[in-house]
Every structure is written in structure tokens, then in C-alpha cells.
Copies of this chain bind each other. A is one copy, B any other.
């Protein structure tokens, strides 16, 4: 009873129960608070005595308009906050994880809609939500009226076989040959990285080599597990294998479509990397985040070929080929690591949400994913073409597009001295989000350029954004928004 009284007092003190609000009658008390009518009446009596509520004859009990002076909380030397693991409070962690947040606040005066050219977004406007809803509902109906049991941490199997669907999907799109037993289903690629970090990083022992520039959220997962991150540069052939420290135990990279630069790793480097791993008892984490979207070039370029299946952890995701909001990805893991990975996944969250697993399994098995990927490949191809032509035609003074055969972003290196940070800030004030290379570096930036993410932006917005960028690069000294709004296609 005392507890209920205190809860109500607290709710009144902090305004959740507003002054003048009518409280439930004591007759409804059992239903609402699980207490007897008499108990409730007693609580109201006390609150009345203490001045928290007022009674109006015949119409009930109301929150008082003027509250009693609340007791000050007892001062205390209690400081549980120092119990927190300081890792999570580092500004670097916030920066790395906040990597998709806005680069600058939107201009309050601007009426233009936002144009988002950040990488790793997708065009959800073109996603067949109705199809996913339909196949999900069908699957869920067939599962109903069964006793709920906790499912396999590794991912769904049996009649609704997500792991088998995944092997079929990557066999066709990426020529990665594996069995359903090799697959561990995860909540997106991010959980895959976290899971791998927790299984592969042994306490203060692991040197993890990462591409620089690279994907910051992956680094956070490994750093959180206690790894020491060593940045390794990239060139036109991808990760510079000779620069990997010999004591690296894990090497993380995106060999098909380096993030964010976009190069594909050469066959020579791939061989050298696998050799390195074998020689040094190291393992490789291959992040293949958008390998479904290939545009010409040499096909079948997953590092995790059959011959390397003992040293490569292949990480895939449905965030790019479907939707990031589903939070579904997977690891193709070597035999020797599976037991540990499954035990860790079990501890992390038992398993991924069943409705999502079932829906995606059906979406793949019934051919909708293949269809959607084919469609989006055409859409993204048109955007790529527009971008490449415009860069070539209008930006050759400043930027040089970096060839890339995969994915939904294209990077361009600066060919002259440019204040790209200032340029992107100017654009951000005009609601155009565009990233420079700089935020993807762990060490000091060695290259400068812009990343054009094509996932979330149609051709007309892309044209407008490129026109605005051209203006900004041409007149770097000018005030931003006013100029842009005056001159062109806004």
C-alpha cells in the first residue's frame, strides 16, 4: 500500500498525473492497481492528508492544483556512475557509431526536402513491402497454435529454413558454396561483428588489423571486446597485405567493395592475404555488405571461396539487398568456430526474432529477393551511370571517380586542394548529406575525397545535389544557402 501511495506521489510530483486530473474511483482500484477498494480508499485518504489530491464531493478524487513542498532527496556520496565501463563513454565510440547521424543541423529556414547521399543507405521506397507482408503472414499462420519453444540460436531450420535459403541466395549471387550448418544468423552485420569479436578476441591478446579508411562501427565491436586495432592502408589493389603486422590475429576487410573507397582486392593480394592468415594462424573477417550489386567487372569475387573456408568468416547482411530496419544478417563460419559462435549467440540474445526469420526465409525461397535484387541493380545502375557521367563532365577539375564494380556508392578522390569539409558543411545546411573520406579514417587521413551514396536518392535529386556541389566547389568562399537558393534548381 505504501508503495502504491509513493508511486502516485511520484507521478503527481513529476507531472505524469497532471494537476486537476481525475483519479480512478476506489471502486476501480482492483482492476487498475490490483488492490482492494478499501486499500485504495486508504491511499487516497493519506494523499489527501498530505495535500497531493483533493476530493470533490460526488465527483471523485482529483490531483491537487498546488502541490505540497516535496521533500528534498537525501544528499548522498553515492556515485554508482563510476561503475560504468568507461569504454562506452569515449567520444570516439560515439563518433564511430553515430556515423549515420546528420553532419549538421538542417537549416530551419530551408524548405527543401533532404537529399541523402551518405553511403550504406537503401531505397526503401522501392521495396516490395506488400510482398514481404504477404509471405510473412502466410508463414506465421502456419506456425500458430503450436507451443512456443526457444528456437535454435544458430538460426531457423526445419520447415522454415532460413539458413538453407541463405546458402541458396549466396550461392547464386556470390558463388559462396556452403552448407546450412555453416550459417549463423545474426541481427544484421553489426551483431555478426560483435559476435566474432567476442569469440575471436581473447583477453588483451588480439591485434586486429582493419582497413584504413574503413567501416567505423565494425571497429567499435572489436575494440569493445578488448582488441587493439591496427590500421592498415589500402591502395588500388585493396588492403596492403605487406603492411599487416605479423602478430595480427584477426584481419577485417571488405575485399569486394572496399568501404568507403570502393576498390576490389586484386587476386594477387587475396592469395597473399590467405597465405598470411595460414602462416600466422590468423583469421579473416570478410564483410560483403553489398556484394549482391555487381556492375560488370570480374564476377564471383568473394574471398571466402571453398579453399579458404578454414580461415575466412564471411559476413553478409540483408540491410542492403532488403532493408536495414529488419536487422538480419549472417556469418558463414569455419567448422572449428561454429560451436563457440553458437554458444555466444545464445548468450547474446538466444536467437533472432522468429517472425523476421520466417518472413525473410519465405521472401528468399519464393524468389522475391532475387527479383528485388535484379530490379534494384537496374535502378542503382542508372544512378551510377548518371553520377559517373556527371563527375566526368562537370567535376574533372576537382574529382576523379574511383573505379568500382560493386555496390551502391561510388567514391571520388580529390585531384586538387579542396576544403571538402567546408563544402559538405555548406551542403548540409542546404539539407544535402554527403560524406568526405575523413570520418572513415582511424589514423590520419592520407587521401581526400567524397563518397556518393546512391541508395536513398533518385536521379532528379542526385542531379540537384551534384549541381549544388558544383556551385559549392566553384565558389568556396561564398555564403552557402543564399547563394544556392538564388542561382539554380532549388
Contacts and interface: CB of A to CB of B under 8 A. Distances in A.
Interface of A: 3-4, 6-7, 9-11, 16, 32-35, 76, 78-86, 88-89, 93-94, 97, 100, 116, 121-125, 127, 129, 133, 137, 140-141, 144-151, 153, 172-173, 175-177, 179, 186-188, 190-191, 194, 198-203, 206, 217, 220-221, 224, 226, 249-250, 277-278, 281-283, 294, 299-301, 305-307, 310-311, 323-328, 334, 336-337, 339-341, 343-344, 346-356, 359, 456
Task: Give the number of times this chain occurs in the complex, counting copies.
Answer: 2
B283 A34 contact: no
Given A33-B175, A305-B3, A348-B191, A353 B334 contact: no
A355 B281 contact: no
Contacts of A34: 173, 294, 299-300
Contact of A93 (B127, B176, B250, B347): B347
Contact of A217 (B11, B220, B347): B347
Contacts of A35: 299-300
Given A89-B340, A283-B80, A147 B116 contact: yes
A423 to B, nearest CB: 23
Nearest to A342: B88
B337 A353 contact: no
Nearest to A353: B327
Given A76-B278, A129-B140, 13 more contacts: A4-B299, A7-B305, A10-B307, A34-B299, A85-B200, A88-B344, A121-B147, A123-B147, A148-B323, A190-B350, A194-B347, A224-B344, A327-B349
Nearest to A79: B281
B84 A300 contact: no
Contacts of A16: 177, 179
A3 B281 contact: no
Given A3-B300, A194-B349, A456-B147, A354 B334 contact: no
Nearest to A311: B80
Contacts of A116: 147
A433 to B, nearest CB: 11
A144 B121 contact: no
Contacts of A3: 175, 300-301, 305
Looking at A86, A124, A146, which has the most chain B CB atoms within 10 Å of its CB? A124
9 contacts: A4-B299, A10-B306, A33-B175, A78-B281, A80-B311, A83-B249, A97-B346, A203-B226, A217-B347
Contact of A353 (B149, B339, B353): B353
Contacts of A173: 34
B355 A326 contact: yes
A157 to B, nearest CB: 14
Nearest to A146: B124
Looking at A78, A82, A226, which has the most chain B CB atoms within 10 Å of its CB? A78
Contacts of A299: 4, 33-35
Contacts of A200: 83-85
Contacts of A93: 343, 347
A187 B185 CA distance: 14
B224 A198 contact: yes
A100 B351 CA distance: 14
Contacts of A301: 3
Contact of A146 (B125, B283, B356): B125
Contacts of A324: 148, 150, 350
A365 B307 CA distance: 53
Contacts of A300: 3-4, 7, 33-35
Closest 7 CB pairs of A and B: A124-B148, A10-B306, A325-B354, A34-B299, A187-B349, A88-B340, A81-B336
A340 B93 CA distance: 10
B33 A347 contact: no
B356 A353 contact: yes
Nearest to A194: B348
Contact of A343 (B97, B144, B176): B97
Looking at A123, A343, A456, which has the most chain B CB atoms within 10 Å of its CB? A343
